[in-house]
Chains A and B, each alone.
Chain A
Amino acid sequence: MTSVAALMAWPVILPLLGAVLALLVGRPGVRLVAGVASVATLMASSRLAWEVAHQGVLRQSIGGWGAPLGIEWRADGLAALMLLTIALVGPLISVHALDHLGDREDREFLPLWLFVWCALNALVLSDDAFNLYVTLELTTLAAVALIAVRRDLPGLDAGLRYLLFALPGSLCYLLGIALLYGAHATLDVGTLAQRVQPGPVTWVAAGLVTVGLCLKTPLFPLHVWLPPTYTGAPTPVTALLSALISKGSFYVLLRLWLEVFAPVLDARVGQLLGVLGAVAVLWGSFLALSQTQLKRVVAYSSVAQIGYLFLVFPMATSGARAGAIYLVVSHAAAKASMFVAVGNIHQAVGITALGGVQGLAYRMPFTFLAMALGGISLIGIPPSGGFIAKWLLLNESIGTRQWWWALVLLAGSLLAAAYVFRILRGSFLPLPAEVKVRSIPLRNELAPLALALIALVLGLVPWFPLELLAIGASR
């Protein structure tokens, strides 16, 4: 069956099926099931993307109930691109997880990851404010479980922290949605976009939604839960968190903001978000510079990178939108590869400090290469997706005569260079004699490389994703 309904359902159903099956079959079959589910979902996602690329935006109302009563699903270029990103990045991370986590863990990791995947795909596709809330929560809960998958103190602590910061966020969001519904009696994003008027209710609602999602994403100054969480969680999970899960809430914010709120809000709030983003960039980078733990450096770099994303709001042009999304995608790949590489290093030498990278270039060339390419993308040096994103944002900041954002972008990349090369540099030092190197499976070396190559390719053929993004950019 190739009806629109099926097209849009499969990417959500397949991981769900996979997850349930994986839970049922248990130890022996879990990898097989997960693998099959992943491949199937990848195919379903790309199929959908293909259709979107050729037919344009696809709509579908779940259970036949149309808006305003029922739940609308909508697949535009943006959604398609997100689906693809998740489908490419996620599995690569989980491949790495297989050998990184112990047996029991990966028996639980894989189903949980499939749940997250399912929730994320649903989130990406749903076009209904409340449905977005539900999918957000599902993502959060599955993520918390993932964080705690090791059942050790750091993991549990991180999981709880994540939960207790995510909850207020989503509740703020929910309250905002409730107010909107009260005012306009619809939850369908499209309808909302037509109905919202400037006014106290809209303003408060917008405020609640924005703040809630900023807390979940997170944006400075609400980012403080991120570093401990990211460091506490097992590395593959951290990769998932920063590459995909944190992007979920940003995706929602971007959608609602650009499609619903932007027209009815004063430009100054956009500037507010921009300023916070800018501060986040500098703040995160500085902290990344001062860290001694490899993982924390990368974690703080996430704080900075998320900051870039929020520069889209003051500009609020289609170009800036493209830039932000491009950054989401390339950051997903690059950051995932960085974290996974860090995981490899930890696994190989058991050192979590920066010194762990010593001699990396000779010992684990692929991991090193992955780190280098990922780092380049984080800095935004061509050829890399990061550069393209930065380029688009720069252009918009000049085009919209807001050159100060350009300054932030440029300063940010310099700082990024500082902390990235702080890592890479060490890898050229000769390998210290006393360090014992445990050999790690080639699979784990190739996983980060593949991720980094995605970031690289994004920098080489940007026209394809950009064309895809343009589809359904404005309703």
Chain B
Amino acid sequence: MRADEWASLAVIGTLLVPCVLTGMVMLPLTRRVGMALAPWAALPALGLGLGTGATVHWKSVLLGMQLYAPDEVTRTYLLFTGVLWLFSGLFARGYLREDAHLASFWGFFLATLTGNVGAVLARDVASFYLFFAMMTFCAYGLVVHERTEAAARAGRVYIVMALLGEVLLLAAFFLLVGTRVNLSFDDVPRVVAESSHRDVICVLILVGFGVKVGAILLHMWLPLAHPVAPAPGSAVLSGTIIKVGVLGWLRFLPLGHASLPTLGTVCVAAGLTAAFYGVAVGLTQREAKTVLAYSSISQMGFLTLAVGLALGAPEAAPVLIGAVLVYAVHHALAKGLLFLGTGLLPATGRRGWRGVLVLVGLTWCALEIAGAPLTSGALAKLSLKSAEAAAHASEALPTLLSLAAVGSTLIMARFLECTVPKAPEQGKAGAGGMLLSWGLLLAVDTVLLFWPPVGRDELPHLLAPKYMVSAAWPVLVGGLVAAVVWRSRRWRTWRVPVLPAGDVLWPLMRVLWPGWRLLTTGADREEEEQAETAARLQGGFARFRKASLDEVENAEARLSRLSHVGLALLLFLGVFILLLVR
């Protein structure tokens, strides 16, 4: 077998392994084996991320499926997707040891993984849509896994918004592919740039994937869905799945091929708003995972901003994309760790070496998100700033970003405040596996700080004092404020207000819900009532029929009188002859 065949085999395997495992978990016969192997399903993806594969082209699958191209985006995405899914899987094995719906979890976990990996590998529009949809709909299973009312509500919001997103994307794809029916990603940016509907497509793409990204005003599902899912689920949801939205932007927007300043500015504005809005609302939350979800919203704001800049400044697009990737990797791992940590801490407890270890780890990750010096967060922010410089963005931007960093610090502090005190003193037995996998992930995260897959050239600047300072002061300020607020909680009179998770959703629902009820009237009504209206109608018809037929009957009776027949006869004859004579 030749090398490239091996390479393509690797690609196929990356996709098929989780796919086949899904099947195995579904079938009772092979379920146990499947579930045993499930945690490792993401390993091939990780491998492919490290190595290189070869493009696969299946003409007869879907509308001609193409998979994998060895470009930076794909590799990076594969890498962090693989890592996070792998360790979340390993973590889940311990986390869900005595879970009621274990098989269901693994089924959806693997299916979502398949969709996720597929979306990264896909090289043509149709296949991308296929895997994207697969991921979206299977992730629903992770959201509602707990089978609680809250989970159901969150799931409903999630699925509705996801559907809206899908629909917009579908519209965008129709406009995009046109009569070519399907399109390879090699041509997409060019085609979009040249398309007569360019702006419409871009808007649809931005909004459509925006739902997944959790961009401002499309973010309502995040704070609902993340908390209800089991920890590993929320980890991948917040770590990789929302990144696929960003991937969609990178794949479909004409970055570097066309300049759309207006749209770009809108995106930048939206990004910044998200960055602050997420923090603002997040600070009002009580539930740790919800806080993290809002932090994700604000973090995604930075990526939105970067993409916006790339839209505005084609020449700087490559750099910005690089920055986006760095940021994606950093956020994926850090946020994944944090979410897993929320699941881990109750198991280990906060006393004892395990607890301390976890607390230290969590703090480290929090600092990463806050962008403290010498953390992956610092690297991410650094590359972002330099990319902005390349894009000649406005002078205010760096300051705003630093302010946002202050916000990040605050919200991380809020997170710790919500997590640590609630955690039990002593942990339960059997947290070992979870701790191990978590620790390993933390290790990988740290390793990736020194050998980042992208943005290596920024690495040296990390130690430059100028950057150290610019990275440090927001964290210090934030930490200070947090400390003050924390210390003052005894005597200060005001409290942080509490907003319901999903903030703007609720006023919105008040408008939409009645409409939906109206649309579905009768679905819950019993047959009889419906039948009776129909019966009334039929009765009316029958009465009318009867009456008219009776009329005819009477007429017939009158006609049957002998004399009338005679008259009819004469009349007939008369008319007949009359017609002839005249």
Contact = CB atoms under 8 A, between A and B. Distances in A.
17 contacts: A165-B565, A168-B569, A203-B580, A206-B576, A206-B580, A208-B573, A211-B576, A214-B572, A222-B568, A224-B560, A268-B579, A286-B548, A286-B549, A286-B552, A287-B553, A290-B549, A290-B552
Interface string B546-567: 0011101100100110000100
Contacts of B568: 221-222
Contacts of B556: 224, 283, 287
B396 interface: no
Nearest 9 interchain pairs by C-beta:
A290-B549, A224-B560, A203-B580, A207-B576, A221-B568, A268-B579, A286-B552, A207-B577, A211-B573
A210 interface: yes
A207 B572 CA distance: 9
B581 interface: yes
A215 interface: yes
Contacts of B576: 206-207, 210-211, 269, 272
A222 B572 contact: yes
Contacts of A225: 565
A204 interface: yes
Interface in B235-253: none
B545 to A, nearest CB: 8
B572 A211 contact: yes
* Contact-residue bracket for chain B: 10 to 19
A272 B553 contact: no
B575 interface: yes
Contacts of B550: 290
Contact of A207 (B548, B560, B565, B573): B573
B229 to A, nearest CB: 56
Interface string A433-466: 0000000000000000000000000000000000
B565 A204 contact: no
Given A207-B577, A225-B565, A286-B549, 7 more contacts: A222-B572, A265-B580, A266-B580, A269-B579, A276-B572, A290-B549, A290-B550
Nearest to B556: A287
A276 B576 CA distance: 12
A208 B559 CA distance: 21
B552 A283 contact: yes
A180 interface: no
Contacts of B577: 203-204, 207
B565 A272 contact: no
A211 B569 contact: yes
Contacts of A276: 572
Contacts of A278: none
A286 B569 CA distance: 23
A168 B572 CA distance: 14
Nearest to A215: B569
A289 interface: yes
Nearest to B546: A290
A211 B553 CA distance: 25
Interface of B: 548-550, 552-553, 556, 559-560, 565, 568-569, 572-573, 575-577, 579-581
Contacts of A222: 565, 568-569, 572
B552 to A, nearest CB: 5
A224 B559 CA distance: 7
A203 B573 contact: no
A393 to B, nearest CB: 23
A266 B569 CA distance: 20
A92 B580 CA distance: 44
Interface in A291-341: none
A229 to B, nearest CB: 12
Contacts of A224: 556, 559-560, 565
Contacts of B572: 211, 214, 221-222, 276
B350 to A, nearest CB: 76
Interface string A388-407: 00000000000000000000
A272 B579 CA distance: 9
A268 B581 CA distance: 11
Contacts of B581: 200, 203
A276 B573 CA distance: 13
A225 B559 CA distance: 10
Contacts of A290: 549-550, 552-553
Interface in A242-262: none
Nearest to A418: B545
A206 B572 CA distance: 12
Contacts of A221: 559, 565, 568, 572
A298 to B, nearest CB: 16
Nearest to A221: B568
A204 B550 CA distance: 38
Contact of A269 (B549, B552, B565, B580): B580
Contacts of B580: 203, 206-207, 265-266, 269
A215 B550 CA distance: 25
Contacts of B548: 286
Nearest to A264: B580
A31 to B, nearest CB: 39
A287 B552 contact: yes
Nearest to A202: B580
A210 B581 CA distance: 16
Contacts of A214: 572
A417 to B, nearest CB: 15
B575 A272 contact: yes
Contacts of B569: 168, 211, 215, 222
Contact of A266 (B553, B559, B579): B579
Nearest to B557: A224
Contacts of B553: 287, 290
A8 B552 CA distance: 47
A287 B552 CA distance: 7
Nearest to A303: B556
Nearest to A199: B580
Between B550, B552, B553, the greatest number of chain A beta carbons within 10 A of the residue's beta carbon is seen for B552
B353 to A, nearest CB: 82
A272 B576 CA distance: 8
Nearest to A219: B572
A162 B576 CA distance: 25
A406 B568 CA distance: 27
Contacts of A165: 565
B105 to A, nearest CB: 53
B549 A289 contact: yes
Interface in A4-31: none
